[in-house]
Copies of this chain bind each other. A is one copy, B any other.
């Protein structure tokens, strides 16, 4: 099978996940990892490590998978690297997607490269289901539930509360709400009715736990619109029981065709490792980026623009025979 040479830009949890996902991809091989750290301090599963500033010299790469963060890395990295490479990123700051798309599109078109942005599972697989469900059942309502899983933003927020030494926050979909949506009756649900927030907090010695609990539960934007449960635990318990990165969620649409004739479409994910699964989506999209570019396409793309066949290693004939 043809081997595409892949580069990973940024080697944290997501980058390591991409390395694992590439080991299952018969048509791609990891050629280089790029880091802003001292390369001699980065241990991969075998791929050579180079300084990030040398990446543009590696024109042998067929595609680069960007594994930096959406807050500060990707807004500059993606448009910059799209001048040289086909690429995929997981940019997930929803409000800024239009401007990110525009910046990446200009660079990629100029360079005749394909740059897939905002891949992963949300945005990503969940987005694909939302467009599919709405297109098939225009009369209806789509609901997205997240969890049970760790929200990095909410975990950061509780760690900023005075008296908190460490902590983690799980977003949990409320079962009654999921069940109500599954009936297809399209209930009106408040923020509080859809998700619960559960926090595991390691207090500093002598901290006022009741004050911490109040500060968390009343925090605007992050917690005040939710029912929030705060558990106080030790640093050892946090490490032993909350070091995994599970996640998941549901996209459900209830729709009607003729009056009273209801249909419910549902997609769900249950993930042992959020970064490893996200990485697996990025790898499939990297395959698509290379192929779309080989067929003459260029510019910024999202999962809405990728024909599903391009995600697979199988030929069109094989796909029609085995999976249709």
A-side residues, CB < 8 A to B, are 17, 20-21, 24-26, 94, 97-98, 101, 118, 123, 125, 127-132, 134-139, 182, 184, 257-258, 260-273, 276-277, 279-281, 284, 287, 302-309, 311-313, 316-317, 319-321, 323-324
Contacts and interface: CB of A to CB of B under 8 A. Distances in A.
A101 B320 contact: yes
Q: Give the number of copies in the complex.
A: 2
10 contacts: A97-B321, A129-B267, A137-B280, A138-B313, A182-B270, A263-B277, A264-B270, A266-B266, A267-B267, A305-B307
Name the residue among A98, A132, A135, A272 with the largest chain B CB count within 10 angstroms. A135
A311 B131 contact: yes
B136 A125 contact: yes
A304 B280 contact: no
Contacts of A276: 257-258, 261, 263
Nearest to A21: B257
B320 A309 contact: no
A287 to B, nearest CB: 8
Name the residue among A125, A276, A308 with the largest chain B CB count within 10 angstroms. A308
A319 B130 CA distance: 10
A319 B307 contact: no
Contacts of A184: 270
Contacts of A268: 264-266
B20 A258 contact: yes
Contacts of A128: 132, 308
A299 B182 CA distance: 38
A245 B125 CA distance: 30
Contact of A323 (B26, B130, B258, B306): B130
Contacts of A263: 269-273, 276-277, 280
A17 B131 contact: no
